[in-house]
Amino acid sequence: MAQRNRLLKDVLKGVSRSFYLTLRVLPKGLREPVGLAYLLARATDTITDRRGGLPGQRLESLVAFRNQVVGPVDSAVLQGLVVQSIHDASSPKEQAMFESLVDCFALLESLDAADQEQVRWVVTTLTQGMEMDLTAFSGADSEGLVALPSAADLDRYIYLVAGCVGEFWTKTSIAHQPELKDWDVGAMSETGVRFGKALQLTNVLRDVPRDLRMGRCYLPADELAAAGLEPKDLLNPGNVGRAKPVFDAWVRTALGYFDVAEEYLLAIPRRSVRLRLACLWPLLLGLVTLARLARSGAWLEPESTVKVSRRWVYWMIFISPFKICSNSLIRHWIGIHRRQVEDAI
């Protein structure tokens, strides 16, 4: 129990301040599988993004880690990943996360069979998205930009790195929360997928300038070509007007996903306050980010940073308990930010 608390409080808090808030407000039965899935995914993502190795080496480490998640665990392989990851850690908090990996796998194997299956599935699926990153953009840099070929590729990517989390979240919630017993697992899981896609697509749009300078263009090449652009043209902020139709189309797609996310939230019984809050917070943060991004008009500027202030986050957390049980107040709150996006595009 002490190890479990350390992992899901101290270690997780060190590597994710915002998700830690969501985890703490979740109903108690959900904290363990959800928190553990996050820690394993965060460790995998850090291994994949490490700067010290070539894409082929990172892919090898990713596959080795995924094999451990699928099981059975090979203690020698796991220990080797731990040692290498600690060496490459960029901060003491990341180092603490990797030092706790053995305990994470021990906790995984202590979960009941259903939770184990879900955690293994979602982390394995997330690693497929990370693998897609490493293979699609292998060897890419700002001099040799690579773009995803089509909308279907971007849609698959945002499913693998976030949509699957909505599916995992839904199935795990239904398994642990008796008040969700009447939910249609298939239909609500698909709704959860769109919730996850809303958040990830917003991240993709926000990070366009940074990703471009890493050689990655997630905006589809065929849509850019239809606008008379090549991926390298996006390195010039002066082309923001020419690229706006492509950008706005994906903003509209994200906004449509947020509409579905709103329905997902409101489908949670009003008495499930904690679960509602855990869904409301990322929904609002994502939608406010999308609104600020759409209104900024500077989404190709490398110096532009669009994010929600910590002060706003604290205000949102403070005020949300007074609104969470009222569907009309929630719709009004979300509607304010939806209209901001609509007005900007």
Residues 294-324 pLDDT 10s: 998 889 998 877 888 989 999 999 999 999 9
- The model's pLDDT over 110-148, given as tens digits with 9 standing for 90+, comes to 999 999 999 999 999 999 999 999 899 876 555 678 999
Q: What is the pLDDT of residue 142?
A: 54
Left (φ > 0), alpha (ψ -120 to 50) or beta: where does 297 sit?
A: left
- The model's pLDDT over 223-260, given as tens digits with 9 standing for 90+, comes to 999 999 999 999 999 999 999 999 999 999 999 999 99
Q: What is the pLDDT of residue 54?
A: 63
Task: Give the residue-averaged pLDDT of 330-335.
Answer: 98
Angle value at C-alpha 86, between 48 and 2, nearest 5 degrees: 105
CB atoms under 10 Å from CB of 335, counted, come to 11
- The model's pLDDT over 38-92, given as tens digits with 9 standing for 90+, comes to 999 999 988 887 655 666 778 888 999 999 999 888 888 888 888 878 877 778 8
- What domains can you pick out in the chain, each with its CATH number? 1-120 (no CATH), 140-345 (1.10.600.10)
The per-residue pLDDT of the chain, averaged, comes to 91
Helices vs. strands in the chain: H and E counts, helices first: 18, 2
Q: What is the pLDDT of residue 98?
A: 87
Helix (H) or strand (E) holding 119: helix 113-136
Cα–Cα distance measured from residue 92 to residue 99, given in angstroms and rounded to the nearest whole number: 10
